Structure 1
Amino acid sequence: MGEDVGVTARHLTEAALPSPPARRPRLIATDLDGTLLRDDKTVSDRTVAALAAAERAGIEVFFVTGRPARWMDVVSDHVHGHGLAICANGAALVDLHAGGEILRTRPLGCEEAMGVVTALREAAPGTSFAVERVDGIHYEPRYPPFHLDPSAVIAPAEKLLCAGVSPQDRPVLKVLAHHPELDPDAFLLLARERAGALASFTRSSPTALLEVSGLGVSKASTLEACCRERGVRPEEVVAFGDMPNDIEMLTWAGTSYAMANAHPHVLDATTHRTASNNEDGVAAVIEQLVDGR
């Protein structure tokens, strides 16, 4: 999800866009919210056309997102070729041609998840939790109703993580931790200090909402595995993103672009910039890549 970074955001006109890589890439990896999608969660006609042009040029496009598979309908009509997407910050590989079927998972172990919950309850009193499993999200009574799910089980995280309690016996893709008062970046730093040996922590929301995955699981590590299977090297990948959960992917890819609306840490981690998500920044670069301009 995108974030308003105020004075740190950089407005870029298309005339100011950097030159594309000298060689056409084999694969484009793009985040969705705050990057490919406009703020109203739509894909512009220009972006649809750019994605189709990339496909015709033989460039694979991977959607790489923190979203769960069930929220991928916003782009499922615009998937070409392989039809794969990386969801839940790398915890799930999804076939969008098969209605969002989850092909592979990299789950968060319940023991490690329980350790994270215990550590954050102690380090940041007032934290509430949700548990994202392959069957959907379940949450604590105090967890904010960001996206209500009528099928969700509402209970303390310790119960939601208990093994063998249906439907809690499904793999955990990630745990979400929300704090109503802490600064988002400070909360992320605190969590990594207290529980970084148990799991991977990141964030993609403007609020103090952390996303907790299995240790070593990230957009970058799953994308790297998919590229390795295809014989695609990092220098043959162009990546786009706007939030901290994109940083590993952006630094792994041979060429990376931060959106003009990106978080300051993303701007610091990339060498290229493009226009904002509302100005079709991804499409503008893809057009250059395809045209060789």
Structure 2
Amino acid sequence: MTSPHGPNGSVPPLDDSPLPARPRLIATDLDGTLLHDGKSVSDRTIKALAAAEEAGIEVFFVTGRPARWMDVVRDHVHGHGMAICANGASVVDLHDDGKLLSHRPLDRAVALGVVQTLRDAAPGTTFAVETATGIHYEPTYPRFYEDPGATLATAEQLLQESGSGTDATAPVLKLLAHHSGLTPDGFLTLARAAVGEQATLTRSSPTALLEISGPGVSKASTLALCCAERGISSDEVVAFGDMPNDLEMLTWAGTSYAMGNAHPDVLAAASGRTLTNNEDGVAVVIEQILARQQQAR
């Protein structure tokens, strides 16, 4: 793909881009993709998202974030209000305070089995449990956000349905596993070999932090379900991402873009490449899509 910057910031000719003729849905990751590194949405991106919706192209945020961390984009989902969170484990309505519309939980017994498997395979692993109502941690798990309602206990205690002091009956959306002595990709490779088909393992953090969902649960599989409900085929979807948890979505979508700052596996898997998140790479492609549609009229 040629540079998206033409003279005076204009959109250049699009003949060599992989853009679809008539996309119906844009699916974009947030951190490292739509958001700048400061976790903000630029004015250019806000304008591009609004223009896409006005042109009849739905925009879905598809993220590893839980619903409670979606305030940064809550005002930019426009008409439908829906977002796919927790790597596909939940679909939420951001217009209704992150109300859970559907979920694909990780069975607590399966999660307990994964915990034991990883404790054996990678001693020193620490865990957190993300549920539909909040997150809870092991005491030594490195926390990045303050969660006043979090319970501190072992993963085994947190995952017991009879546990006291936790949301013990709430659906588990994902299990988080951290290791301070392994590389991020090395930990993922080791964990996938150990866990096998028990669960879906991926990563989106620059640290050795794994995100573990139920078998078959991914951004791609939940996005496919949402698209099927709308009569949208994969060929009508344009997807954006930067990390391994985006890989399935990028290969499922008919057209996909890796950010300029993307993980090497993502760069290899996507059908196109755009600028970095800090250079508004998603907005650049949306502008190109809309320019092509305007030229076709």
TM range (shorter): over 0.9
Does 2:193 match 1:202? Answer: no
Counterparts of 1:144 and 1:202 in 2: how far apart (Å)? Answer: 18
Gaps of 5+ in 2: 7-11
Match of 2:160 in 1: 162
- Provide, for residues 226-281 of structure 1, a one-character-per-residue CA deviation record: whole Å limited to 9, x for no partner: 00010000000000000000000000000000000000010011120000000000
Deviation at 1:81, TM superposition (A): 1.9
Counterparts of 2:28 and 2:281 in 1: how far apart (Å)? Answer: 11
Counterparts of 1:125 and 1:53 in 2: how far apart (Å)? Answer: 50
- Provide, for residues 177-208 of structure 1, a one-character-per-residue CA deviation record: whole Å limited to 9, x for no partner: 00001011011011111112210000000000
* Conservation of the 8 A alpha-carbon contact between 2:32 and 2:277: yes
Match of 1:136 in 2: 134
* Conservation of the 8 A alpha-carbon contact between 1:94 and 1:103: yes
Show the 5 A alignment for 1:34-183: 34-165=32-163, 166-183=166-183
1:196 match: secondary structure: helix
Counterparts of 2:32 and 2:242 in 1: how far apart (Å)? Answer: 6
Residue correspondences, number: 284
RMSD of the alignment, in Å? Answer: 1.6
- Provide, for residues 121-176 of structure 1, a one-character-per-residue CA deviation record: whole Å limited to 9, x for no partner: 00001000000001110000110121121110000000000013342221100000
Amino acid at match of 2:24: R
Higher relative contact order (CA 8 A, sep 6+): 1
Counterparts of 2:208 and 2:105 in 1: how far apart (Å)? Answer: 23
Deviation at 1:13, TM superposition (A): 5.3
Identity, % of aligned positions: 67
Match of 2:9 in 1: none
Gaps of 5+ in 1: 1-9
Amino acid at match of 1:222: T
Does 2:279 match 1:288? Answer: no
Counterparts of 2:137 and 2:212 in 1: how far apart (Å)? Answer: 14
2:201 match: secondary structure: strand
Does 2:12 match 1:21? Answer: no
TM-score (normalizing by structure 2): 0.93
